[in-house]
Amino acid sequence: MSNLPLRPGLAGDTPYGAPEMDVPARLNVNENPYPPSPAVIDDIADAVRAAATRLNRYPDREFPALRQALADYLAVESGVRVPWQQIWAANGSNEVMLHVLQAFGGPGRVCLSFTPTYSMYPEYARDTLTEYVTLARRQDFTLDVEAVRAAIVAHHPAVVILASPNNPTGTALPLEDVRAILDAARGAGPFDEDGAPTDAVVVVDEAYGEFRRPGVPSALELLADYEHLAVSRTMSKAFGMAGLRLGYLAATRALVDALRVVRLPYHLSAISQAAALAALAHREELMSQVASLRDERDATVAWLRAQGHMAFESDANFVLFGPFEDRQAVFEGLLERGVLIRVVGPDGYLRVCMGTPSQMEAFRTALTAVTRP
């Protein structure tokens, strides 16, 4: 016990994070299982070496070159082009979204989200003294747009977070639903200092956007129509660069400028900027595994169903399945067999993220052994 003046609200809280274990099949934090190729490693190493010659200087605070490269990537990936001033980046999309809450949340303000969803959202709210309000998703994890509209009218949230595809369920939202929520958010945010209504910021968290099935559009397509929309992305998942810590967001210039006010100076190190730029130059190669991970996911859903489990359709690189009377026992049984997955989501359910074909084989073998002793 210490006598430190811990801020109210933090007592008893522990640091967030899944277990970090060295097992043959790590399928618990939705990473890409494929390490970078020697060519990518060489280019990153060269770029970092060049950046190291200038490490006596602070990095570029505005990093236009990296923001331009991210804008170019989004244009190819989604067909939506924005100027670099409409891109923001930070150390993982976690930090990008923390910037959103720092700029728009705060005491007396509400952040609205939809459960079950990504468990860091309440932490962004806690850390910015923002009230976190949730509404339950439907049984199939889609959103009841009328209920969302009513919640927005009732709470006047400053920030609404929509994960699409959602973690841990894999559910992508139809663009009509995102549009309806953006319409509902217009004029329904908190009142400004003059008593005038504001537009609630709607963040569509597309951390798993690249894994969406063909025909599922990105919310980036709505950027031109809504000044209160921000679409968040990351290099941690499809791009296979979780260790780099590089997340980013596209929004209007006014929204990005608000994030620039709250960021710490030089938040993105020269090493991160150099490595990210070098990695983005290898976009095609790094993304080449996305199609096979999508196939692996669809095959995993089919296999789990064939085994008699319930498995939800997914537009991400993971699958939520169950229900198990004792999910902890299933988790532990898999772990004993070298397969680490995640206990998360509705009671009884587990989440497995897509690995290499041999890791998925290990998962199937272990699950069969554990559930049919």
In angstroms, the CA 128 to CA 232 distance is 19
Q: What is the DSSP letter of 21?
A: -
- As measured in angstroms, the least distance from the Cβ of 241 to ligand PMP is 9
Nearer to ligand PMP, 78 or 94 (CB): 94
Contacts of 300 (CB under 8 A, 6+ apart): 311, 319, 352, 354, 360, 363
Nearer to ligand PMP, 353 or 370 (CB): 353
Residue number of the CB closest to ligand PMP reads 92
In angstroms, the CA 100 to CA 298 distance is 34
User: Residue 140 phi/psi, 5° resolution?
Assistant: -90, 10
Nearer to ligand PMP, 186 or 262 (CB): 262
- As measured in angstroms, the least distance from the Cβ of 307 to ligand PMP is 26
Are the CB atoms for 208 and 233 separated by under 8 Å? no
107 by Cβ neighbours in 10 Å (0-12 / 13-18 / 19+) ranks as exposed
- Residue 115 host element (H or E): strand 110-115
Nearer to ligand PMP, 96 or 188 (CB): 96
- As measured in angstroms, the least distance from the Cβ of 123 to ligand PMP is 11
In angstroms, the CA 61 to CA 65 distance is 11
Write the DSSP assignment of 195-260 as a string of letters.
S-B-PPEEEEE-TTGGGPPTT---GGGGGGG-TTEEEEEESSSTTS-GGG--EEEEE-HHHHHHHH
Are the CB atoms for 202 and 162 separated by under 8 Å? yes
- As measured in angstroms, the least distance from the Cβ of 118 to ligand PMP is 4
- As measured in angstroms, the least distance from the Cβ of 233 to ligand PMP is 8
Nearer to ligand PMP, 43 or 315 (CB): 315
Hunting for tokens 């099935």 — which residue is that?
213
- As measured in angstroms, the least distance from the Cβ of 76 to ligand PMP is 20
In angstroms, the CA 69 to CA 272 distance is 14
Are the CB atoms for 263 and 99 separated by under 8 Å? yes
Nearer to ligand PMP, 83 or 243 (CB): 243
User: Residue 251 phi/psi, 5° resolution?
Assistant: -160, -170
Nearer to ligand PMP, 207 or 229 (CB): 207
Positions that interact with ligand PMP (CB under 6 A): 30, 92-94, 118, 163, 167, 205, 207, 234, 236, 242, 247
The residues that bridge with 318 in the sheet, in sequence order, are: 353
Are the CB atoms for 202 and 150 separated by under 8 Å? no
- As measured in angstroms, the least distance from the Cβ of 100 to ligand PMP is 12
State the alpha helices, DSSP H only, in the chain.
38-52, 64-78, 92-104, 121-127, 145-155, 175-185, 253-262, 270-280, 283-287, 290-306, 327-336, 357-371
Nearer to ligand PMP, 51 or 344 (CB): 344
- As measured in angstroms, the least distance from the Cβ of 149 to ligand PMP is 23
Nearer to ligand PMP, 86 or 94 (CB): 94
- As measured in angstroms, the least distance from the Cβ of 95 to ligand PMP is 7
Nearer to ligand PMP, 156 or 294 (CB): 294
- As measured in angstroms, the least distance from the Cβ of 277 to ligand PMP is 17
Are the CB atoms for 34 and 245 separated by under 8 Å? no
